[in-house]
């Protein structure tokens, strides 16, 4: 019985550790960009590059051991998977908008509805990613940890809306970079690096919330040994 409890909790601890590593990397990158506004990293959009891959790696660990999850842990895993599916859908729609209009003549106007649709799905993709982070650790942490996770989600949501609006203004630039085959997105990265740097707050709050969850799970695992 104890081994049945320890195994899923061990996988959850591994997931927390993977995600915490991602938070540390993302948070450090964004903090660097905040401090060095004049000299941002060459490609600093960690929220679009590192975040999704770290999330996928963490959830893969849980998915492998899904048959061992029971009760509340099983419900959390299933909900997290659904949110991740919505995250993938929103990301795919954002990419589809960019590549669809890149096939149109460069002189063609982009409808305002398409721009706002692009903004909505970008914001949704980012916010849903942070919702996943909160769901994974929420039941395993105490009141203080839960507060940190929710504040991190609120902070990230505000930055995501701000960032989405900025990317909406750069939609034409992204499309043009694809149309002329240069794929030079550096102007876009430069325009959003200052905004994106504010994600550092959310990442560090998540790190502390996850540390609390990790400590509590380790204590539980020790007691069941």
Q: Give pLDDT tens digits along the chain (225 positions).
A: 444 455 667 778 888 888 898 888 888 888 887 887 655 554 445 556 666 777 777 777 777 766 566 667 778 888 888 998 999 999 999 989 988 888 887 666 888 888 999 999 999 999 999 999 999 999 889 999 999 999 999 999 999 999 999 999 988 888 888 888 777 777 787 778 788 889 999 999 999 999 999 988 877 655 555
What is the C-alpha to C-alpha distance for residues 139 and 74, in angstroms, rounded to an integer? 12
Q: Taking Cα atoms as reference points, which of 166, 165, 171 lies closest to residue 111?
A: 171
pLDDT for the residue numbered 1:
42
pTM: 0.84
Helices (H), the chain: 2-35, 46-64, 71-102, 112-138, 143-169, 171-179, 186-196, 199-224
List all residues 6 or more positions away from 214 whose beta carbon is below 8 Å from its beta carbon: 13, 16, 17, 20
pLDDT for the residue numbered 38:
54
List all residues 6 or more positions away from 144 whose beta carbon is below 8 Å from its beta carbon: 212
pLDDT for the residue numbered 203:
94
């Amino acid at each position: 019985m104890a081994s049945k409890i320890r195994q899923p909790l061990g996988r959850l601890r591994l997931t927390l550790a993977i995600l915490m590593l991602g938070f540390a990397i993302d948070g450090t990158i964004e903090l660097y960009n905040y401090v060095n506004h004049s000299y941002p990293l060459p490609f600093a959009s960690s929220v679009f590059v590192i975040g999704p891959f770290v999330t996928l790696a963490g959830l893969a660990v849980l998915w492998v051991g899904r048959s061992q999850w029971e009760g509340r842990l099983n419900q959390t895993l299933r909900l997290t998977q659904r949110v991740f599916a919505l995250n993938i859908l929103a990301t795919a729609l954002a990419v589809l908008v960019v590549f669809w209009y890149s096939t149109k003549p460069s002189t063609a106007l982009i409808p305002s509805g398409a721009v706002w649709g692009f903004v909505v799905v970008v914001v949704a993709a980012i916010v849903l990613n942070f919702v996943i982070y909160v769901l994974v650790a929420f039941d395993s942490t105490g009141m203080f940890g839960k507060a940190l996770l929710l504040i991190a989600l609120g902070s990230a949501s505000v930055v995501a809306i701000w960032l989405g609006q900025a990317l909406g203004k750069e939609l034409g630039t992204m499309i043009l970079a694809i149309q002329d085959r240069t794929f030079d997105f550096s102007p876009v990265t430069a325009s959003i690096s200052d905004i994106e740097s504010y994600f550092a707050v959310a990442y560090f709050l998540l790190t502390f919330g996850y540390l609390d969850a990790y400590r509590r799970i380790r204590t539980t695992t020790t007691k069941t040994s």
